[in-house]
Amino acid sequence: MNDDAGFRKFTRTAAARERLLSVVSPVERTERVALRDADDRVVASAVEAERAVPHYERAAMDGYAVRAADTFGASDRAPASLRVADSVGPGTAQRVHTGSELPAGADAVVMVEATDRTGEDLTVFEAVPEGGNVGPVGEDVERGQRLFEPGHVLRPSDLGLLKAVGLESVRAYERPRVSVLPTGEELVQADPAPGEVIETNGQTVTQYVERWGGAASYRDVVTDDADALRTAIERDLDHDIVVTTGGSSVGERDIVPEIVADLGEVFVHGVALKPGHPAGLGVVEGTPVLMLPGYPVACIVTAVQFLRPALAAAGHRRASAHPRTDARLTGKLPSEPGVRTFARVTLADDGDEPTATPTRTKGAGVLSSVALADGWVVVPEELEGYPAGETVAVEQWEVAR
Average pLDDT over residues 179-197: 90
Domain finish residue from 135, 161, 194:
135
Q: Is residue 6 part of a domain?
A: no
Pseudo-torsion of CA 149, 150, 155, 159, nearest 10°? 70
Q: Does residue 24 carry a pLDDT above 60?
A: yes
Q: Which of 106, 135, 164 is the last residue of a domain?
A: 135
* Strand runs labelled E in 90-135: 92-96, 108-111, 115-118, 121-124, 134-135
Residues 287 and 373 in one domain: no
Average pLDDT, integer, range 223-239 = 96
Give residue 2's pLDDT.
37
Asked whether 202 and 182 are in contact (CB, 8 A), the reply is: yes
pLDDT of residue 371 exceeding 80, the answer is no
Q: What is the DSSP string of 143-193?
A: TT-EEE-TTPBP-HHHHHHHHHTT-SEEEEEPPPEEEEEEB-TTEESSSPP
Say whether pLDDT at 4 is over 60.
no
Residues 281 and 266 both lie in one domain:
yes
Q: Name the strand (E) or helix (H) holding 31.
A: strand 30-34
On average, the pLDDT of the chain sits at: 92
Question: 66 and 110 in contact (C-beta within 8 Å)?
Answer: yes
CATH of the domain at 42: 3.90.105.10
291 and 371: one domain?
no
CATH at residue 379: 2.40.340.10
Asked if residue 158 has pLDDT above 90, the reply is yes
Query: Is it the case that residue 253 has pLDDT exceeding 90?
Result: no
- The pLDDT tens digits of the residues spanning 61-83 come to 999 999 999 999 999 999 999 99
Distance of CA 350 to the CA centre of its chain: 32
The domain boundary, picked from 78, 106, 135, lies at 135
Residues 42 and 73 in one domain: no
- Closest listed residue to residue 390, CA positions, set 323, 324, 332: 332
Same domain as 281, residue 235: yes
Are the C-beta atoms of residues 212 and 397 closer than 8 Å to each other? no
Res 108 pLDDT > 70? yes
Cβ 248 vs Cβ 277: under 8 Å: no
Mean pLDDT of 101-107: 97
Please report, for the domain that includes residue 69, its CATH number.
2.170.190.11
Q: Are residues 169 and 93 in the same domain?
A: no
Measured distance CA(299)–CA(297) in Å, rounded: 5
Check whether 282 has a pLDDT greater than 50.
Answer: yes
Query: In degrees, to the nearest 5, what angle opens at C-alpha 157 toward C-alphas 152 and 160?
Result: 105
Q: Does residue 271 form part of some domain?
A: yes
**Does residue 8 fall inside a structural domain?**
no
Give the pLDDT score at 173. 98
Same domain, 80 and 92: yes
Question: What is the predicted pLDDT for the residue at 188?
Answer: 83
Which CATH number characterizes residue 225's domain? Answer: 3.40.980.10
Are 24 and 36 found together in one domain? no
Per-residue confidence (pLDDT) for residue 8, from 0 to 100: 73
Residues 242 and 305 in one domain: yes
Average pLDDT over residues 238-258: 91
Instruction: Report, as an integer, the average pLDDT of 219-227.
Output: 94
Residue 319 lies in a domain: no
Within this chain, do residues 87 and 102 fall inside the same structural domain, yes or no?
A: yes
In a domain, 2, yes or no: no
Report the 10 Å Cβ neighbour count for 173. 24
Q: Which domain holds residue 377?
A: 324-395
In a domain, 179, yes or no: yes
Q: Is residue 190 part of a domain?
A: yes
Sequence-separated (6 or more) residues with CB below 8 Å from residue 371: none
Residue 297 lies in a domain: yes
For 115-157, how does the pLDDT look when each residue is reduced to its tens digit (9 = 90+)? 999 999 999 999 999 999 999 999 999 999 999 999 999 999 9
| pLDDT given for residue 360 in this prediction | 62
* DSSP 8-state secondary structure symbol assigned to residue 53: B
Q: How confident is the model at residue 199 (pLDDT cuts 50, 70, 90)?
A: very high
Domain count, the chain: 4
Instruction: Tell me: do 197 and 251 sit in the same domain.
Output: yes
Query: b/e map of 115-140 (b: 16 or more CB within 10 Å)?
Result: beeeeeebebbbbbeeebbbbeebeb
> Residues 239, 129: one domain?
no
Average pLDDT over every residue of 349-355? 84
Report pLDDT for 3.
38
**Buried-exposed string 386-399: b where 16+ CB fall within 10 A, e elsewhere:** beeeeebebbebbe
Residue range 207-213: average pLDDT?
95
pLDDT value at 365 more than 80: no
Q: Which residue has the higher pLDDT, 338 or 217?
A: 217
Adjacent-strand bridge partners of 341 = 274, 379
- Rounded distance between C-alpha atoms, residue 34 and residue 55, angstroms: 23
Quick one: pLDDT at residue 250? Answer: 80
